[in-house]
C-alpha cells in the first residue's frame, strides 16, 4: 500500500516553498547522518524508547549513530518535521542502510530474528 501524501499539485503555489522548507535543517541533518552511518537512531530526551533501541543495538554489538532532538518540552516542532518527512509517528526512528526500519520494538525484533545482521552484511 503506497503511503498517503498530499501531491505537490494539490498544494497552492503560494505556500509550496514554505511546506518544502519547514524545518528542513533537521531533516537535512538526519539525511546526512543516514548517508554517513549504517545505523542511525533518532530520539529525544526523557523518552525511554530511544534508550531501549540503543541498548539493544549495543548489546548486539551493532555500532550506531544517535541524534537527539529536544525533549517533551522543547523542539517538538522540529521533531514534527521529521514525523512528516518519514511518516513515522513516534521516537525513536531507526534507520538501517538508509531505510527506516521502525522504532525500538521493531529494531529489537530485527535483532532477535537475525535479519538486522543480514541487512548489515
pLDDT tens profile 59-93? 999 999 999 999 999 999 999 999 999 999 999 99
Distance CA 121, CA 109 (A): 17
Is residue 26 assigned to a domain? yes
Segment 84-115, tens digit of pLDDT = 999 999 999 999 999 999 999 999 999 999 99
- DSSP H or E run through 5: none
Is residue 6 assigned to a domain? no
* Mean pLDDT, rounded, of the chain: 96
Tell me the CATH number at 31.
3.40.30.10
Is residue 82 assigned to a domain? yes
Segment 6-19, tens digit of pLDDT = 999 999 999 999 99
Is residue 11 assigned to a domain? no
Is residue 3 assigned to a domain? no
Tell me how many domains the chain contains: 1
Q: Write out the residue range of the structural domain in which residue 115 sits.
A: 16-120
Q: Which DSSP category does 102 fall into?
A: E
Distance CA 39, CA 88 (A): 17
Is residue 58 assigned to a domain? yes
Amino acid at each position: 500500500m503506497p503511503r498517503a501524501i498530499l501531491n505537490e499539485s494539490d498544494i497552492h503555489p503560494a505556500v509550496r516553498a514554505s511546506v518544502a522548507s519547514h524545518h528542513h535543517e533537521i531533516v537535512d541533518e538526519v539525511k546526512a547522518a543516514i548517508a554517513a552511518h549504517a545505523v542511525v537512531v533518532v530520539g529525544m530526551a526523557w523518552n525511554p524508547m530511544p534508550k531501549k533501541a540503543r541498548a539493544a543495538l549495543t548489546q548486539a554489538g551493532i555500532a550506531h549513530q544517535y541524534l537527539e532532538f529536544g525533549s517533551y518540552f522543547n523542539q517538538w516542532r522540529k521533531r514534527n518535521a521529521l514525523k512528516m518527512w518519514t511518516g513515522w509517528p513516534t521516537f525513536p526512528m531507526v534507520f538501517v542502510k538508509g531505510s527506516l526500519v521502525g522504532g525500538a520494538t521493531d529494531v529489537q525484533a530485527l535483532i532477535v530474528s537475525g535479519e538486522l545482521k543480514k541487512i548489515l552484511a
